[in-house]
Chain A
């Protein structure tokens, strides 16, 4: 047994010696992930101190009434929006081109109709929200804000605007013609008359007559607080580092697998097989050396990200290391699996590019996986990349403890085992040197 361990150590040492011999390739291998993580992190909002980007929308006011102007002003005052005022063709064009996410079109007669519809069940005016279908999530947000501002503007006009008294008078007049219950009619008349006198008092006192003042408002405010580990704000670099680390380690594992196939074509393979060693020893040595290289890459990547990008392991360091080791083993086993299934180095490379892209994309390596449809988020749990990225995030900016890391470590080791079993089973051992 010590013989086997010594043999394995010698094989691993040879692999590492060969890997680290080519300085330029080592540096490229180690620096590239960090550079790309920096780039991705920057794109996705950087270190958290920068304000989130405002959502560009357009408002088309075809009405020009006090109410429509108040709605436009209310939207413009939202700190999450960057509002431009345009005519409809221009707005439509910008939405199409993706320059604004959505355009709100307030049609002619909107204020009048909205005020009337508030008091009576007349036809409600139709506000068109033109939106970019690739940004569907913004639609709900814009609709929400729009509802709030229309509500405020309409009630403001009714209780304190010039047009309010006229609308109330209209409603009072129409009460008699509606054949509703006499008691209800009396109550409504009472309510409208009170509203009218409130309007008059408001106007004579403040003289403001603006639709935004004096109206009803949404009866709560949202106090939003990003939930992170507390000591550091959310760091987009932490996500990008996890994603790129996973991607490049995956690629490294695959290179190790391809290397094994290339080795199988050489006489060297015969010499290794001629030694009195179990094939498991040879394959395990390859897995261990690939995993060690991955760990070195992870160490350099996270070291660099700590120094340069402000990424910090706020959670359990042991959990972080555990996930790192487990994922390094997973990728090495994955490389072996791909090699076993691919058969030839050429086929394996093709298969590997596909597998890597899919695993990294669906694992949430490029864009956070919460943007995925729910079924896809569920399905991505079948990918080790998803576990690893989630795990690295949990141990960095989420600042979670070792207990949160254990399921991830367990899942990754399970993946490793499955990959290894299939790889050893499917690996074509007896391909002669030619």
Chain B
């Protein structure tokens, strides 16, 4: 479980986050939704312990993330918005390095790295340098790198930017597996359809403030009656994505 209480953070005069609170239940996916500059990354960075809030706190399973070496940081996996990989190193070397930052070593580290590579569907590219990877492969590795220490809470800051539908679907499958394994997911995006597809609960943020915090159904119910979706008889057209996937196949494009 993740509790965020009264978080505030300013950069100089600019208020990035203003008194934000929410709770993410264990094993659920919470979507942080907001336009560019809303403060999503700032919130996630604070939870990950890479940014100090001006006020408020984040607690993971009761433990505060309040210093560089807080034990709570071990419970958190962080997928930064920007790719956070050593381009010059192989996928495997990246994972080994990040694992050892969490105290993993030896056979355990090797096993975790191998399993993370499997999750990222990158086992056959393990020894290739990251700079030779496509954008989608890097995004998948970026997620895998956060899983090595088996965190309880996974923070994903726009993890699907610039990936093709094949990779995105692979990522969604991975996230579904993780959630069914009991992991709590915080998913940051401004793609509504991603939020609809993945999230149990959604926090909508703008200008650093929480505008809504509810389930999907609860959010729909907030709309004025005339704007609510109604049951209509329509001709269901196939989505463009389904055409795209029909033509290009569902297989990952890693070559």
Binding site for B on A (CB under 8 A): 3, 6-7, 9-11, 13-14, 17-18, 21, 266-279, 430, 432-434
Contact = CB atoms under 8 A, between A and B. Distances in A.
Contact of B73 (A3, A270, A274): A274
A148 to B, nearest CB: 68
A433 B69 CA distance: 20
Interface string B30-73: 00000000000110010011111000000000000000111101
30 contacts: A7-B100, A7-B101, A7-B103, A9-B100, A10-B101, A11-B97, A13-B97, A14-B86, A14-B89, A17-B93, A267-B80, A267-B81, A267-B84, A268-B84, A268-B85, A268-B86, A269-B84, A270-B82, A271-B98, A271-B145, A273-B50, A273-B68, A274-B50, A274-B73, A274-B78, A275-B102, A277-B69, A432-B45, A433-B80, A433-B81
Q: Is the interface of B mostly helix, strand, loop or mixed?
A: loop
Contact of A276 (B71, B84, B89): B71
A276 B73 contact: yes
Interface of B: 41-42, 45, 48-52, 68-71, 73-74, 76, 78, 80-86, 88-89, 93, 96-98, 100-103, 105, 142, 145-146
A279 B73 CA distance: 14
Given A274-B48, A275-B102, A267 B68 contact: no
Contact of A10 (B42, B97, B145): B97
A433 B71 CA distance: 24
Contacts, number: 95
A277 to B, nearest CB: 6
B187 to A, nearest CB: 17
A271 to B, nearest CB: 4
A274 B41 contact: no
Contacts of A273: 48-50, 68
B82 A433 contact: yes
The 9 A-B residue pairs with the shortest CB-CB distance in the complex, in nearest-first order = A267-B82, A267-B84, A275-B101, A271-B84, A10-B100, A3-B103, A267-B80, A273-B50, A274-B78
Contacts of A13: 97
A18 B89 contact: yes
A266 B82 contact: yes
B124 to A, nearest CB: 22
A18 B102 CA distance: 21
